[in-house]
Amino acid sequence: MKRKILACVAAVLLAAGPAAAQYQLSHNAAPGNPKSDASIRFAELVAEKTEGRVNIDVGGSAQFGEDAEALTNMRLGTLAFSANSQGTSSAVVPEFALLGLPFLFESLPQAWEVMDGPFGEKLSAAAEEQGLVVLGFWDNGIRQTSNNVRPINVPGDLAGLKIRTPPDPMTIDIFTALGANPQPLAFSELYIALQQGVVDGQENPMINIYSSKLHEVQKYISLTNHKYEATLLLASKAIFDTFSPEDQEAIREAGIEAGDFNRERSLNDEAELRTTLEEAGIEFNEVEADAFVEATEAVYGKWREQFPDLVDEVVAAAAAAKK
């Protein structure tokens, strides 16, 4: 009798197929942000393309930890996926930071062309050496500067201002060169820091400013356009290598398709958000761009010392992609 029962159980399990595996994806964006929506879309596509063999639980707003913690956990093999910030990821893969060289890109499509080409392949190879698999170069926009003290027209207007930055060496270098007082701080702590006056301002793409409601605690947005920011869809190599070749390919396809969705959202939001934020009471101003470019020239020199060939390569690729 016991053997018959075990045989029946085995038959049921075989008929049901292999059990679906559950994995986590971490990101720090608020609901409605293109990063958040694309992460959900990625999870849906993975489930569809793997026929339910791989299921992903998306934890936004740093529910599964801040970006730095997510990177550590992916390298340990205890977290499968993260839609991670370029700045934080560069602590593990320093080459990622080069996408944020000051004033490198003038438009989002220009940046995408560079990331989708040979330079992006070199970044992916560098990531794999650190235990991370790049599944997509998603978009996080071109960054602007907000504060509660005064409009920023020239670099001198930043003198003495405490500007929150991510824990990102490139952004810190840029704002140091501009004469500000950079204050690295986790994104989840930024709203309260602005509200309580711990920092005077911050820098982010407008979609992040809006979706995280930073405009509620800021007066001015100065269109500095000082650097580009990618969102890196990453997988733990330790976990990714356990998937079948078919599921690996399905997950890669899902990352690209969700990335196309993310990029389209970013481009559309970028065009509409200034009006939305002005209606919410934000005062916008243009800046004297040449003065900002000149003030940050030394940043290129510093990063060339570490990555002489790669800096020249990304500068050349950006120039070739300029329309």
Q: pLDDT-based confidence at 271, cuts 50/70/90? A: confident
Residues ≥6 apart with Cβ < 8 Å to 220: 146, 147, 148, 149, 150, 151, 152, 201, 282, 283, 284, 285
**What is residue 12's predicted lDDT score, i.e. its pLDDT?**
33
pTM of the model: 0.90
Average pLDDT of the chain, as a whole number = 93
What mean pLDDT comes out for the span 273-279? 94
Q: pLDDT-based confidence at 175, cuts 50/70/90? A: very high
What mean pLDDT comes out for the span 41-64? 97
**What is residue 19's predicted lDDT score, i.e. its pLDDT?**
57
Residues ≥6 apart with Cβ < 8 Å to 172: 165, 182, 184
CA-to-CA separations, 243 to 53, 166, 238, 240, in angstroms, rounded: 10, 33, 10, 6
Residues 232, 73 contacting (CB under 8 angstroms): no
What mean pLDDT comes out for the span 33-56? 97
Domains of the chain, start order: 2-311 (3.40.190.170)
Structure tokens at 263: 């990029």
What mean pLDDT comes out for the span 205-228? 96
Check the CA dihedral 290-202-105-277 and report its sign: negative
Residues 148, 216 contacting (CB under 8 angstroms): no
Residues 56, 46 contacting (CB under 8 angstroms): yes
**What is residue 323's predicted lDDT score, i.e. its pLDDT?**
73
**What is residue 11's predicted lDDT score, i.e. its pLDDT?**
37
